[in-house]
């Protein structure tokens, strides 16, 4: 088990330091087209094949808001239990870079579309609520590629103009483990909502990490450093660990922390200063005059609210109450929307307890082994459900079921067919079993004698012999019952 979360402290010279973390998560909006143009957003397309005149900032081109992206942002806001702002404003964030064709990024500065909300983390120590400061919409930049041409930097504008949601947390996180739980929960909620696929390998989810430290018990926050653009949970955790320790070292040596932007070097596992506060860009934010303030109506918001699916927290609650699952089991089953869908499909026709055990046990082991997402599971929910029913109605034993499961894993075969073809059906005819047991008893008179004289451990030997004689197919419960009678 994990350590108790609140225990994450850094100790130097008997001083205990608490680490304070806030995240700015950049989540790519799940949308077929970009925030202000109709260009497609498919990942992995040939460079510069998904670029419109608007994305490349040709003279006279104007942004036109994609209403679907607005819906997605509002939906996410609702999922974060956040205030939806009926009026929000798109601003220009001005800076020059080769992969920023307009010379500014359209973002939201003072008036974001979503205000304060919260996310509940399920930690081993219990639940913890993390505050959300805001969520705003903005355009992604293109991509500068420095390692293809030795002389030149190449620019791919496919990503230019793709819609991002920047989700800013309050500085409520206190450890790398909490950051892990937070990102996973955020991703889980967005995947339930269908507003972000959360795919970190493809860059759909990245974060700027703000880290500061303070002596335990202090009320004031320390000076923070921002670690830019970290694209995996593991790297976030490594970066926080390194950065927090660095800051503690500076303070313990009598120094002070400079507010600055830092980069995490994944190869050297260290953060490096990128620019100080003094060198910070002056982005010259101002409302984008090409776009009117975004006004959304109550109807628009209510329509979205009506169609919000059951989210992980509610689903967990329902699983615990309705199916009598433990919090631990419920957490595992709801954390990923695909897992919860799979689970609910299996239990439509099958025993909940058995289903839970088989999914979190055998199925997860199989997926883990094959490194597959549950949506790519070689065993469909329907077939797993059939397998569980074969166990439940006594057609096969749990042991046989495991070998049937193994066969299923190679080609999603119907377990009923496998059992029939291989003759794995459990022997549950008492007369047949009695014959079998009689033979075992008759063949081992010495053992019977010993058993009857008090060596009760030998019971297992008889069960084993009977099972062996049945080729493993005998119903173990019946074997038990009949044997007990015989050996009385």
Show the binding pattern over residues 66-105: x = contacts another protein (CB under 8 A), - = does not: --------------------------x-x-xxx--xxxx-
Q: What is the DSSP string of 75-108?
A: HHHHHTT-PBPSEE--EEEE---TT-TTSEEEE-
Q: Which is nearer to another protein, 39 or 475 (CB)?
A: 39
Residues 353-372 that bind another protein (CB under 8 A): none
- In angstroms, give the least distance from the CB of 350 to another protein: 52
Q: Which is nearer to another protein, 144 or 273 (CB)?
A: 144
Q: Which stretch binds another protein (CB under 8 A): 57-65, 250-258, 339-347, 473-481?
A: 57-65
Pairing relation of β-strands 260-265 and 225-230? Answer: parallel
- Which H/E stretch holds residue 383? helix 381-392
- In angstroms, give the least distance from the CB of 101 to another protein: 6
Among 45, 62, 308, 365, binds another protein (CB under 8 A): 62
Q: Which is nearer to another protein, 61 or 250 (CB)?
A: 61
CA distance linking residue 73 with residue 84, whole number of Å: 9
Q: What is the DSSP string of 120-178?
A: EEEETTEEEEEEEEEEEEEE---EEE-SSSSS--EEE-TTTT-EEEEEEEPS-B-SHHH
Q: Which is nearer to another protein, 147 or 282 (CB)?
A: 282
Q: Which is nearer to another protein, 54 or 132 (CB)?
A: 54
222 burial class (0-12, 13-18, 19+ CB within 10 angstroms)? Answer: buried
CA distance linking residue 231 with residue 27, whole number of Å: 11
Q: Which is nearer to another protein, 282 or 446 (CB)?
A: 282
Q: Which is nearer to another protein, 281 or 435 (CB)?
A: 281
SS3 3: coil
- In angstroms, give the least distance from the CB of 92 to another protein: 5
Among 1, 14, 44, 60, binds another protein (CB under 8 A): 60
Residues 262-291 that bind another protein (CB under 8 A): 282, 284-286, 289-291
| Cβ proximity of 285 and 93 under 8 Å | yes
| Cβ proximity of 92 and 74 under 8 Å | no
Q: Which stretch binds another protein (CB under 8 A): 55-63, 190-198, 377-385, 457-465?
A: 55-63
Neighbours of 431 (CB within 10 A): 7
- In angstroms, give the least distance from the CB of 284 to another protein: 4
| Cβ proximity of 190 and 75 under 8 Å | no
Q: Does 293 bind another protein (CB under 8 A)?
A: no
Contact residues: another protein, CB under 8 A: 53, 56-65, 92, 94, 96-98, 101-104, 153, 155, 282, 284-286, 289-292
């Amino acid at each position: 088990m994990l350590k108790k979360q609140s225990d994450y402290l850094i100790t130097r010279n008997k001083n205990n330091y608490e680490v304070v973390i806030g995240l700015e998560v950049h989540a790519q909006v799940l949308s077929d087209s970009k925030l202000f143009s109709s260009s497609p957003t498919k990942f992995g397309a040939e460079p510069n094949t998904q670029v419109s005149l608007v994305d490349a900032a040709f003279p006279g081109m104007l942004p036109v808001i994609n209403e679907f992206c607005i819906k997605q942002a509002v939906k996410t806001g609702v999922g974060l239990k956040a205030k939806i702002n009926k009026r929000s404003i798109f601003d220009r964030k001005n800076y020059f870079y080769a992969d920023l064709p307009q010379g500014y990024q359209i973002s939201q500065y003072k008036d974001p579309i979503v205000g304060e909300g919260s996310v509940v983390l399920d930690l081993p120590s219990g639940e913890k609520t993390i505050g959300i400061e805001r969520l705003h919409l903005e355009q992604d930049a293109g991509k500068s590629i420095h390692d293809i041409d030795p002389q030149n930097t190449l620019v791919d504008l496919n990503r230019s103009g793709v819609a991002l949601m920047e989700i800013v947390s309050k500085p409520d996180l206190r450890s790398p483990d909490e950051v892990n739980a937070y990102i996973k929960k955020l991703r889980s909620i967005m995947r339930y909502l269908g507003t972000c696929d959360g795919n970190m390998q493809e860059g759909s989810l990245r974060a700027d990490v703000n880290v500061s430290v303070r002596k335990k018990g202090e009320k004031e926050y320390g000076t923070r450093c921002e670690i830019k653009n970290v694209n995996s949970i593991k790297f976030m955790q490594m970066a926080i660990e390194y950065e927090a320790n660095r800051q503690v070292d500076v303070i313990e040596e009598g120094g002070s922390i400079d507010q600055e932007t830092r980069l995490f070097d994944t190869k050297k596992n260290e953060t490096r200063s990128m620019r100080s506060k003094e060198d910070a860009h002056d982005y010259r934010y101002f409302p984008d005059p090409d776009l009117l303030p975004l006004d959304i109506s109550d109807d628009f918001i209510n329509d979205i609210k009506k169609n919000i699916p059951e989210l992980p927290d509610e689903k967990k609650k329902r699983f615990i109450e309705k199916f009598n699952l433990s919090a631990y089991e419920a957490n595992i089953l709801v954390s990923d929307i695909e897992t919860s869908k799979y689970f609910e499909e299996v239990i439509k026709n099958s025993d909940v307890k058995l289903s839970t055990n088989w999914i979190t046990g055998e199925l997860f082991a199989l997926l883990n082994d094959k490194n597959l997402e549950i949506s790519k599971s070689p065993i469909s929910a329907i077939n797993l459900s059939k397998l569980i029913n074969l166990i439940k109605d006594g057609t096969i034993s749990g042991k046989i079921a495991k070998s049937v499961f193994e066969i299923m894993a190679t080609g999603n075969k119907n377990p009923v067919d496998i059992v029939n073809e291989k003759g794995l059906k459990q022997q549950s005819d008492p007369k047949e079993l009695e014959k079998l047991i009689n033979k075992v008893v008759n063949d081992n008179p010495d053992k019977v004698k010993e058993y009857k004289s008090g060596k009760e451990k030998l019971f297992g030997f008889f069960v084993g012999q009977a099972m062996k004689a049945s080729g493993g197919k005998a119903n173990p419960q019946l074997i038990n019952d009949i044997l007990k009678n015989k050996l009385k």
